[in-house]
Structure 1
Amino acid sequence: MDNNRAEVRDFLITRRARITPEQAGLHPHGTRRVAGLRRGEVADLAGVSVEYYSKLERGDLAGVSSAVLDAIAAALQLEDAEREHLFDLARAATGTSLLTTRARRRPSRPWQPTPALQWTLDAIRDAPAAVGNQRGDLLAANHLGRALYSELYNDPTGRPNFSRFTFLDPAARRFYADWDYFADITVAMLRTEAGRNPHDSELHELVGELSTRSEEFRSRWSAHDVRIHTTGTKHYHHPVVGDLQLAYQTLDLAGEPGIAMTVYTAEPGSPTHQALQLLASWAATTAPAPTDTSPATRVDPTAGQSLQLD
């Protein structure tokens, strides 16, 4: 519970600090000693007493109503992901299935794709597809997905993870065309998951490892930014086929709580579309077997670099 209080306190303080009085429609007078809004100003905007808001900002969300949370979210101009994170923190504080989202079942053993799911992935032949969880573990992929993320499969632990790759593997700075962007969203998604599932021991271990080994992770983690990341465009620099501009859609698997599939596509006839065709040729001889992520089976990302686009 103490950890939850600290999460709530730091999240609300950082959100309050980024909103100026002018952005909130206020007209401040005199010298201000705080960045952003004062507690009293947030309380006025939310329609609660300053004493009650101060109690919430100290981390005590137990018993708070959804109406009050909505009012605070509006006062702090929270985005959808931030609002959901606030509700997740309130849910953790009360120990109940509060408000909007269902508590998710946690598997008692390491997750493995069912044969049917792997068949589904392998049936997607012209686009990279991958399955992962909210901690950023890469759990399964089709042939193009394994080829796209060949360097992640070189993780010596045998457990490829996007967060660990981003902050601990030098290859990430070559692979991600805009490393800072990927680093920001990676941490924001982990922070979102930490609010949603505060008792996930594997997530705590991952955050602890990254905090210990990466100053850039620590600085981003302390910002308390959150994000929902399900669609858009990503830019990669693959070691074999070069630059890729891929649109993606992430779909939750209804029968697998906390597990989602992401499919990447390219505009037909574009350079990226041609690069994916080349990647498919490389994958036919180089990518690891569908279920083999052991460190004994390593992918050499430099193999096949003599291939050239037309």
Structure 2
Amino acid sequence: MPTDTVRDDIRTFLTSRRARLTPQQAGLPDFGGRRQVSGLRRSEVAQLAAISIEYYTRLERGNVGGVSEEILDSLAGALQLDDVERAHLAALVRAANAPNRAADRDGGASHVRDSIQQVLDAMTGAVAFARNAHLDVLATNQLARALYEEALDTVEQPPNLARFVFLDERARRFYRDWDGIAHDAVGSLRAEAARTPGNTDLADLVDELASHSTEFASRWEAHDVEYYRSGQQHFHHPAVGDLDLDYDALEVPADQGLTIVTYTLAPTAPHAPAFLRLQQNSSTRAETPSTSAEQPAP
């Protein structure tokens, strides 16, 4: 990621964060009258961060050489950044101060070890798949193949969840909270872009999505960041209907950028019958011989 691009990202990130805060939300007095800017002024952010307005202006322009962790913490407090946003800002600062960093594809692993596949296959009562930080699905278990059959049905290999969300109309039916998953997907890629600034593969993916999806492009320009860690996802499966599943994202320390995502459901949950049908369907499909395997290629 070129230095100028990183500086632009820092500028846009900081201005967008202060634009979303009102003086009241920041605990500042409101003297009334018409304000020239939306959100906080630079002088107000500087006041809250206990730094000079000249120094804050310099930081907002992307000139972050020599900035300390204490200053970043003060900025995070002034702008009310959450932990993910604070980590994102720190990653951008590191990238700006290391402009000659070589291409970095750590988040874009292209395969999984056999032992990871064995772990996935052992999770017979849960949907489980392994993905990299680009949201490429690299390995699945039987139940994941049943749940994500539409997302995995793609010419592009490996299948990519961001492409599915933004470029495949079936995603809007599959994800009942499409807006939420779209926000999470863009936020995850935004955070990864700052963490691995030399990642040309990720840059190519972002360019592809932005050029084919105005939804993606506008969300990317918002500079929101997100970590997909745990929560509940709302699906509509074409064969079994609605499913509200609890998810957990488990990072694999031995494999940079690799995450195992699991979806589970308590036996007494409202959609337990549908989840049981999904399990039964996946077992039936696994036992049915593939037509292409039985017949020679033409």
TM-score in terms of structure 2 length: 0.90
Residue matched to 2:83: 80
Moved more, 108-117 or 176-185: 108-117
Residue matched to 2:14: 12
Task: Tell me the distance in 1 between the aligned counterparts of 2:25 and 2:108.
Answer: 48
- TM-aligned CA distance change 1:32 to 1:60, over 3 Å: same
Post-superposition shift, 1:280?
2.0
48, 51, 54: which one aligns with 1:51 = 54
1:133-172 deviation line (CA, Å, top 9, x unaligned): 1111111111001111111111111221110000000110
Post-superposition shift, 1:287?
6.1
Letter in 1 for 2:40: L
Moved more, 123-132 or 190-199: 190-199
CA contact (8 A) 1:127 1:276 kept: no
Residue matched to 1:265: 264
Matching of residues 20-169 of structure 1 within 5 Å: 20-29=22-31, 30-95=33-98, 106=105, 111-169=110-168
Post-superposition shift, 1:108?
11
> Greater helix share, 1 or 2?
2
Post-superposition shift, 1:266?
0.4
Letter in 2 for 1:261: I
Letter in 2 for 1:10: T
Letter in 2 for 1:18: R
CA contact (8 A) 1:146 1:288 kept: no
Task: Tell me the distance in 1 between the aligned counterparts of 2:195 and 2:64.
Answer: 15
CA contact (8 A) 2:175 2:234 kept: yes
Letter in 1 for 2:127: P
Residue matched to 1:307: none
Task: Tell me the distance in 1 between the aligned counterparts of 2:279 and 2:25.
Answer: 50
Letter in 1 for 2:158: R
**C-alpha RMSD of matched pairs (Å):** 2.3
Q: Secondary structure at the match of 1:157?
A: coil
1:213 maps to 2:212: yes
CA contact (8 A) 2:104 2:198 kept: no
1:156-191 deviation line (CA, Å, top 9, x unaligned): 112211100000001101100011111111111111
Matching of residues 191-202 of structure 1 within 5 Å: 191-202=190-201
Post-superposition shift, 1:271?
4.1
Task: Tell me the distance in 2 between the aligned counterparts of 1:12 and 1:21.
Answer: 16
Residue matched to 1:2: 4
1:175-220 deviation line (CA, Å, top 9, x unaligned): 0001111111111111111111121111101110011000111111
TM-score in terms of structure 1 length: 0.87
Task: Tell me the distance in 2 between the aligned counterparts of 1:9 and 1:155.
Answer: 37
**Percent identity over the alignment?**
46
Letter in 1 for 2:144: G
Task: Tell me the distance in 1 between the aligned counterparts of 2:143 and 2:287.
Answer: 11
Residue matched to 1:278: 277
Q: Secondary structure at the match of 1:22?
A: helix
Task: Tell me the distance in 2 between the aligned counterparts of 1:37 and 1:271.
Answer: 45
- TM-aligned CA distance change 1:288 to 1:115, over 3 Å: farther
Q: Secondary structure at the match of 1:276?
A: helix
